[in-house]
Amino acid sequence: MKWTYLLFNKPYGVLTQFSDASANPRPTLKEYVPVPDVYPVGRLDRDSEGLLLLTNHGTLQHRLSDPQFGHPRTYWVQVEGTPEAAALESLRQGVTIQGYQTRPVQVQTLTVAPDLPLREPPIRVRQSIPTTWIKMTLTEGRNRQVRRMTASVGLPTLRLVRVAIAHLTLEGLAPGQWRTLTEAEIKSLHQLLNLKSR
């Protein structure tokens, strides 16, 4: 089998799956990625945006998705309020959410808002409450983990964009666009995951 690797910039409101059997179907990957037999590595919630890796390489998919392998995922997170040092330190040390202690994460405040396209629909804005962008790098990806972590320290997430998976980034991809990985990116990914290239 020939392995296929794609990077996709998932827009807000799109499901991380290729079909939706609900009574009121929502946009899915099928409307953006016309490549058969590839599947997303991990998930992004419907209300999250950003980098998604799709592949038909099952072992790679498993190693990137399983928390035991601990590969980094980086997010830009717009939160409500101004983070205090203690809140950021709590995130760095790991917090307890739904009875689970998260792994420590890398967190920093972004002094300049990232250059992102406006979201449709736009986030809610309250004039009396400032918002702040922070950068978070996790080595696990539990369901809605970033949102639950920021909420646990009093910083509700307003917008969440995944900008990197290991060394792969969103660079050059507008929302809704996809591309195949380069040979160099594939080689680096295989080395990272201790996989044999072919």
Give the pLDDT confidence of 77-113 residue by residue, as tens digits: 999 999 999 999 999 999 998 888 999 999 999 999 9
Per the residue annotation, which of 20, 45, 66, 115 is the catalytic one?
45
pTM listed for this prediction: 0.93
Look at residue 62 and give its three-state secondary structure.
helix
Full set of structural domains in the chain with CATH: 1-69+167-198 (3.30.70.580), 72-165 (3.30.70.1560)
User: What's the mean pLDDT in 64-71?
Assistant: 75
- Predicted pLDDT at 197: 63
Mean pLDDT of the chain: 91
Q: Tell me how long the chain is.
A: 198
Angle of the 85-93 helix axis to the 145-152 helix axis, nearest 10: 140
Residues 18-29 pLDDT 10s: 999 888 889 999
C-alpha closest to that of 79 among 121, 120, 113, 115: 113
Strand partners, 74: 137, 164
- Predicted pLDDT at 11: 96
H-assigned helices in the chain: 58-65, 85-93, 145-152, 183-192
Beta-carbon contacts of 154 under 8 Å, excluding residues fewer than 6 positions away, are 81, 87
Q: Is 115 a catalytic residue?
A: no
